[in-house]
Amino acid sequence: MGNCQICPRRCNIDRTKGVGFCKESDTLRISRAALHFWEEPVISGTKGSGTVFFCGCNLGCIFCQNREISTAENNGVAVTPARLREIFDKLISEGAHNINLVTPTHYAHILSGVLERPLAVPVVWNSSAYENPDTLKLLQDKVQIFLPDLKFCDDESAEKLAGAPGYFTVAKKAIDTMIKMQPETKIIDGIMQKGVIVRHLVLPGHIQNTKRAIDLFAARYKGAALFSLMFQYTPVNGLPPPLNRRVNRSEYDAVMDYLYQKNVEDGFVQELSSAKEEYIPPFDCTGI
């Protein structure tokens, strides 16, 4: 692959010999592969989403709920591309509605090859949206559903909370690319087959960030994608206020009022009660 230019950080590291910002080398590492029932209803359905959690991440979110696998080297289990394909097939045999790749960006160059031969179910690209358009284009005709999490809508918050320079500009271009690659939203019998769902996780004390995310979706993506507003934020230990608490009722009501004002109706909204630890699965190498 040469020196790594996969994500916007462009570490320029030879990952055959070392690791980049993502903490990963050129070897696939995963921490869990199992049916998952906590995604949007059109993703999880009744049988579950065949979810594969990759180790490492090209963001550095201080509030990361998956920090157990995202911030340290040599977590999870190393697998070959052939073994990963076997894992996909096993999840499909268990009834998975799709194969859901979580935090896959830094492995895009490998996954493109793994997905060269089509699967029997849709592939979901479940990412942070901190991605290069050229990298996403490696997935043309190989990924049917894009599930980007639009985390930050101002660069100050992105820099402070995730160490991600220029995140907002990068994410807009990435989501634009995803919609161009998969412009059709197709749902059959309640299960998504094609399309884009733009996610946004509401953070406590950062309601203006959420309002800007709603503004962006309403102005730029409404009609071309679905919107998923998530209230499942669960604080990890050691965070400063206000990130050391959950979203409160007044914040929830303010966001819902704003969503109504902007007439964003196509998509999904979690209840405030969704902020539970059960949304964070055990990264115990299940299914590997």
Residue-wise pLDDT tens digits, 70-104 = 876 778 999 999 999 999 999 999 999 999 999 99
pLDDT at residue 2 tops 70? no
Per-residue H/E/C for 107-145: HHHHHHHHCCCCCCCCEEEEECCCCCHHHHHHHCCCCCE
Q: Is residue 273 part of a domain?
A: yes
CA distance 6 to 131: 8
Q: Which residue has the higher pLDDT, 283 or 279?
A: 283
∠ Cα 49 64 217 (to 5°): 70
Q: Is residue 131 part of a domain?
A: yes
Per-residue model confidence (pLDDT) at position 86: 98
Q: Is residue 21 part of a domain?
A: no
Q: Is residue 190 part of a domain?
A: yes
Q: How many CA atoms, within 13 angstroms, populate the side-chain half-sphere of residue 169?
A: 7
Per-residue model confidence (pLDDT) at position 41: 97
pLDDT at residue 67 tops 90? no
Q: Is residue 263 part of a domain?
A: yes
pLDDT at residue 208 tops 60? yes
Q: Is residue 23 part of a domain?
A: no
Per-residue model confidence (pLDDT) at position 155: 87
Q: Is residue 228 part of a domain?
A: yes
29-33, 68-72, 102-106, 127-131: least confident range? 68-72
Per-residue model confidence (pLDDT) at position 275: 58
Can you tell me the mean pLDDT for 197-216?
A: 98
Q: Please say whether the beta carbons of 54 and 103 come within 8 A.
A: yes
∠ Cα 43 47 48 (to 5°): 45
The proportion of the chain whose per-residue pLDDT surpasses 90, expressed as a percent, equals 88
Per-residue model confidence (pLDDT) at position 278: 57
Q: How far is CA 282 from the centre of its chain?
A: 17
pLDDT at residue 277 tops 80? no
Range of the domain at 225: 29-279
Confidence of residue 274 (pLDDT cuts 50, 70, 90): confident
CATH number of the domain within which 177 lies: 3.20.20.70
pLDDT at residue 1 tops 60? no
Q: Is residue 287 part of a domain?
A: no
141 Cβ contact list (under 8 Å, min separation 6): none
**Which residue is associated with the tokens 């995310």?**
213
* Secondary structure element (H or E) that encloses residue 46, with its range: none
Total domains present in the chain: 1
Q: How far is CA 261 from the centre of its chain?
A: 27
Q: How many CA atoms, within 13 angstroms, populate the side-chain half-sphere of residue 205?
A: 11
Can you tell me the mean pLDDT for 221-234?
A: 96
CA distance 38 to 45: 9
Q: Please say whether the beta carbons of 218 and 266 come within 8 A.
A: no
Per-residue model confidence (pLDDT) at position 282: 81
Can you tell me the mean pLDDT for 44-69?
A: 93
Can you tell me the mean pLDDT for 125-150?
A: 98
The proportion of the chain whose per-residue pLDDT surpasses 70, expressed as a percent, equals 97
